[in-house]
Amino acid sequence: MITTVKYGELKNYINGEFIEHQGEFASVVSPIDGNLIAKVPLSSTQQLDNAVLKAKEAFAQWREITIKDRAQIFYKFKTLLEQNINELAEIVRDENGKTLEEAIASILKGIEVTEFACSIPQLTNGEVLEVSRGVECKLIKRPLGVVASITPFNFPLMVPLWTIPNAILLGNCMILKPSERVPVASGKIAELLKQAGLPDGVFNIVHGGSDIVEAICDHPDIAALSFVGSTKIAKIVYKRATSNNKRALCLGGAKNHLVVLPDANPDMTANNVAASMAGNAGQRCMAASVMVAVGDVDHIIEKLCIESKKFIPGDNLGPVITQESKLRIENYITEAERSGAKILLDGRNTVVAGKEKGFYVGPTVIDYVTPDMSVAKEEIFGPVLSIIRVNTLDEAIELENNSSYGNGAAIFTQSGGLANYFAERASAGMIGINVGVPVPREPFSFGGWNDSKFGVGDITGKSSIEFWTQPKKITTKWNPESRTGWMS
Ligand code: NAD
């Protein structure tokens, strides 16, 4: 029997062309049904070198194009993303397992960042001041050169789009190294960028695993990199890249705490917390992982379980990325149960009819978790919520502050004063007040604190402009006769 692989053998994209890969490939399996959907090249470091060389050549011309003209390409790119959103969402669903609605929402966020990029010319008009009579100082922002973006499995299009429009529009040329588990969607980005008029060599894709990431960190002609992935690897990449004098911004994992006070609106809170925990199968760095129940909130926990049950595996709840992830997540639940926690809703051993080989975990709610348990401390990255009970808001804040991570944190209450008290004291980069997934909309930038981020600034928004450029200061004097103080 001849079976066709839906997306076939993928290719690297270098200098505007998809290049047939001669070396080894790895399998790409859809988490929905365990079927092989593509083969991804495991590139050699020579292939990376070639991509960097072409990007470096392209940079010489790309930097000469005015930022307003570069922006025109991204206006077209944004329209193309919108026109192709259904096809893009289907790819994201196939390789990552998101539902189509989730895939579309993630692409809309990518489109929003592209819109922000198109506004960058209005934000980078520089600064000028007459610093002494007849003497002017001017500051302009210039690109860094060839840069790299290394991305994780959980958002195959959105995370690459956090970096591609801003970095390229600001005049850099880019090498994208997508997650080898979800490498298909990036090829479509390359096609659409070319269709939008991006010159060859400005955007390139080199597929592969850790050896390509290491080679990116070491490459003398790559000036800067952004990384999004687990904390363990983010730390390694940050250290290696910065020890090679590269600029690096590395976003890591998370353990987000949602604090629920007794005065919280029960329906809205239950609905928000459940959606934050189970949406995208819990594979979001902004997902609710711990609910900190302050005082008596049993009536909200009851509703939370009802809301969580509305996430049906194989219907509005997608699979987790691999069989290993499924087993790892189930082990966390079993360990919590053995340690004395109470499983209110159990997602273990979930099998979806017709998709028996898919990697599904049902929504899981675990009550009476204590801070020493692994489910309370470690990133689980699945649709699992641990409830820790405390007596006061200060105890809740202390618990949140004790986490080594610091991506998102939220509070549910009707008291503005208590909400502000929490927002000031929570040790996280993105705070929600009655918002379960407090991802800032553009132009407010995305980025956490503590072990959720290594490097200065955020990955989107205005601070990304600083990351992807270097300031140049020009001092000018055209009137040689005048005395201009110490500048003369
Ligand atoms: P990962 O760290 O395993 O992989 C990320 C990238 O690093 C991939 O491109 C991969 O090929 C590469 N990589 C893997 N092992 C490596 C190694 N030993 N050396 C060098 N490179 C290596 O992450 P993942 O499993 O793909 O993604 C999930 C993680 O990403 C979660 O921890 C999640 O919280 C995090 N994440 C964080 C954010 C954020 O904004 N903070 C956003 C999305 C995902």
Average the pLDDT over 22-39 and give the result: 97
Q: State residue 487's pLDDT score.
A: 58
Q: What is the per-residue pLDDT across 151-181, written as a single tens digit (0 to 9) for each?
A: 999 999 999 999 999 999 999 999 999 999 9
Q: Which atom of ligand 1 is nearest to the CA of 230?
A: 32
Q: Which two tokens stand for residue 268?
A: 């809205």
What's the predicted TM-score (pTM) here?
A: 0.97
Q: State residue 391's pLDDT score.
A: 98
Q: What is the per-residue pLDDT across 397-412, written as a single tens digit (0 to 9) for each?
A: 999 999 999 999 999 9
Mean pLDDT of all residues belonging to the chain: 96
Is 26 a residue whose pLDDT tops 90?
Answer: yes
Is 199 a residue whose pLDDT tops 60?
Answer: yes
Is 173 a known active-site residue?
no
| For ligand 1, mutation pick of 92, 153, 231, 405 (most atoms within 8 Å of CB) | 153
**Which has more confidence, 46 or 4?**
46
CA of 179 to the centre of ligand 1 (A): 8
| Strand-pair category, 173-177 with 146-150 | parallel
Q: Widest CA span of the chain, in angstroms?
A: 88
Kindly state if the Cβ of 153 falls inside 6 Å of ligand 1.
yes
Average the pLDDT over 448-459 and give the result: 98
Q: State residue 484's pLDDT score.
A: 57
Q: What is the per-residue pLDDT across 225-268, written as a single tens digit (0 to 9) for each?
A: 999 999 999 999 999 999 999 999 999 999 999 999 999 999 99
Is 4 a residue whose pLDDT tops 90?
Answer: no
Is 485 a residue whose pLDDT tops 80?
Answer: no
From residue 92, give the alpha-carbon distance in Å to each of 38, 87, 374, 383.
Answer: 13, 9, 31, 19
CA of 152 to the centre of ligand 1 (A): 4
CA of 229 to the centre of ligand 1 (A): 2
Is 1 a residue whose pLDDT tops 50?
Answer: no
CA of 231 to the centre of ligand 1 (A): 8
> Distance between CA atoms of 182 and 166, rounded to whole angstroms?
22
Q: What is the per-residue pLDDT across 89-145, written as a single tens digit (0 to 9) for each?
A: 999 999 999 999 999 999 999 999 999 999 999 999 889 999 888 899 999 999 999
Do 71 and 118 meet the contact criterion of CB atoms below 8 Å apart? yes
**Where does residue 272 fall: left (phi above 0), alpha (psi -120 to 50 degrees), or beta otherwise?**
alpha
Q: Which atom of ligand 1 is nearest to the CA of 214?
A: 20
Phi, psi (5° rounding) for residue 173? -110, 145
Q: What is the distance in angstroms between the CA of the first residue and the CA of the last residue of the chain?
A: 84
Is 49 a residue whose pLDDT tops 70?
Answer: yes
Q: What is the per-residue pLDDT across 334-377, written as a single tens digit (0 to 9) for each?
A: 999 999 999 999 999 999 999 999 999 999 999 999 999 999 99
Average the pLDDT over 193-217 and give the result: 98
Q: What is the per-residue pLDDT across 301-313, written as a single tens digit (0 to 9) for each?
A: 999 999 999 999 9
Nearest C-alpha to atom 40 of ligand 1 is from which residue? 251
Kindly state if the Cβ of 253 falls inside 6 Å of ligand 1.
yes
Is 429 a residue whose pLDDT tops 70?
Answer: yes
Q: Which atom of ligand 1 is nearest to the CA of 234?
A: 2
Q: What is the per-residue pLDDT across 206-228, written as a single tens digit (0 to 9) for each?
A: 999 999 999 999 999 999 999 99
Is 445 a residue whose pLDDT tops 70?
Answer: yes
> Distance between CA atoms of 79 and 73, rounded to whole angstroms?
10
Q: Which of 99, 92, 210, 253 is nearest to 158 (CA)?
A: 92
| For ligand 1, mutation pick of 161, 177, 179 (most atoms within 8 Å of CB) | 179
Q: State residue 126's pLDDT score.
A: 83
Q: Which of 258, 452, 261, 453 is nearest to 365 (CA)?
A: 258
> Distance between CA atoms of 208 and 316, rounded to whole angstroms?
31
Kindly state if the Cβ of 251 falls inside 6 Å of ligand 1.
yes
Q: Which atom of ligand 1 is nearest to the CA of 150?
A: 9
Contacts of 481 (CB under 8 A, 6+ apart): none
Query: Which of these is catalytic: 173, 217, 285, 305?
Result: 285
Q: State the virtual CA torsion across 349, 100, 274, 251 in degrees, nearest 10.
A: 90
Q: Which two tokens stand for residue 66?
A: 């005015």
| Strand-pair category, 25-29 with 135-143 | unpaired
